[in-house]
Amino acid sequence: MEVGIGDNGRILAVGKNLSGGERHDVGDAVLIPSAVDCHSHFRDPGGSDAVENFETGTRQSALGGIGAAVDMPNTQPPTTTTDRLESKAERTHGRLAVDVLLYAALTVPERVAPLARVAAGFKLYMSPTTDIDPPRLERLPSLLAAAAATRLPVAVHAEDPRFFREHTQLEGTEGWNALRPPQAEMEAYERLHPIPGGLRLHIAHVTLPAFASRIFQEGESFEVTPQHLLLSAGRGADARWKVNPPLREPPASSELWEMFQRGLVPILASDHAPQSAEAKARPFLEAPSGMPGAETMLPLFLARVRDAGLDLPVLLRAAADRPARLLGLPQGRIAVGHRANLLVVDFRRRTELRAHDLHAPCGWTAFEGWPAIFPREHYIDGRLIVKDGEYVGTHEGRVLRPEFAPGESVPID
């Protein structure tokens, strides 16, 4: 099979014996589309203690096989106004290893329409996060109606803080799970009902199989993260495993994994949210939440294609095709008219993850020692940006916005 790429970086033809100029034979390796990550935190601008920025963050995305990534709005300051969104876009110039999409925070109904002219989507925080307070519940219907009118995707952090507990005898990830219990997640989703017609709802980082089934049955979009699929709450007070929503008890992750394997989870997203090793060394309850994941998401799952019976097409739909469609991007498939954002993967090249081989400035990974398969080459618009674990691109990533609405097809040049 051959893929023909035009001068415009789009796929012109897929087939056998294509005519054309320069040829590149990938040998026994497999050609797949680049992933699209609809949830990452590049922490830019991020104040004095930030351990990430657009340059370092998107380099990890590139090396991990992600060709486009959503940047979430809980930066410092948070992207709650058009001015801040525009100045964030300016900060990206010449610093992006891959493309990014900038989300705005959904906080005030009157700001939604102006923000929609600049943002690629919205994030609704239903529990407090860095510098953003959740909207009052009585305001939700008007906020959601305003967001529905924009036709942009709305990602929701679904945790209702009224169900958070203040005390637990438990420590570590077990205790965190008890303080922010499953009920908080399910109840937050109920608060979004009735879901206004036309709202492009997407529930971020779902951790519970029953919750995933409910959203699936209602036909709404949602994502799960590698950490909630592969890790569980357990004893030990290591705050590197502290994330929001929390890691759940072991049956949740194995049942979620089963759903993922059966293709019942629409989207895989990293929720790349690095924190410094020093901050994570604080006592569990004082340490910040979040873990890095842009560089490791796809490699962890490619290894599971090889070792754990995960179907490659199931993975690619969740990691590339569906997020691209959610975001209105002509990529995520090897098909005519799509951007030639491609990975060359050699499934014989399995490695073990080691923090010192990775490129996160925070210097640690929750997946130390896990098997991984990194893409050998990464192309954006047919141009090589990663070769054998090195970024070889020229930081030509762009700020993207949706190119087509849901239901429309990818424009073919």
Closest CA to 270 of 406, 91, 120, 68: 68
Neighbours of 118 (CB within 10 A): 19
- C-alpha 67/C-alpha 381 separation (Å) is 10
Of the CA atoms within 13 Å of residue 185, those in its CB half-sphere come to 24
Nearer to Zn ion, 173 or 341 (CB): 173
Nearer to Zn ion, 294 or 385 (CB): 294
Cβ burial of 369 (10 Å; 0-12, 13-18, 19+) is: exposed
CA distances from 202 to 208, 344, 380 (A): 15, 30, 26
Given the DSSP bridges, would you call strands 30-33 and 342-345 parallel, antiparallel or unpaired?
antiparallel
CB of 413 to Zn ion, least distance (A): 35
Nearer to Zn ion, 223 or 271 (CB): 271
Q: DSSP string covering 65-80, please?
A: TEEEEEEPS-SSS---
R_g of the chain computed on alpha carbons: 20
CB of 14 to Zn ion, least distance (A): 35
Closest-by-Cβ residue to Zn ion is: 271
CB of 155 to Zn ion, least distance (A): 9
Nearer to Zn ion, 227 or 341 (CB): 227
CB of 294 to Zn ion, least distance (A): 12
Quick one: tokens of 323?
């997020």
E-strand ranges in 307-380 read: 342-345, 351-352, 371-372, 377-380
CB of 107 to Zn ion, least distance (A): 16
In Å, how far from its chain's centre is CA 252? 20
DSSP 138: G
Nearer to Zn ion, 271 or 381 (CB): 271
Quick one: tokens of 28?
């026994």
- C-alpha 151/C-alpha 63 separation (Å) is 32
Nearer to Zn ion, 71 or 271 (CB): 271
CB of 271 to Zn ion, least distance (A): 4
- Phi/psi class of residue 69: alpha, beta or left (left: φ > 0; alpha: ψ in -120 to 50)? beta
CB of 132 to Zn ion, least distance (A): 12
Nearer to Zn ion, 73 or 397 (CB): 73
Nearer to Zn ion, 125 or 367 (CB): 125
Nearer to Zn ion, 99 or 271 (CB): 271
**Contacts with Zn ion, residue ranges (CB under 5 A):** 271
DSSP 376: S
- Cβ pair 95, 53 in contact under 8 A: yes
Quick one: tokens of 357?
């081989």
CB of 360 to Zn ion, least distance (A): 16
- Cβ pair 347, 30 in contact under 8 A: yes
CB of 251 to Zn ion, least distance (A): 24
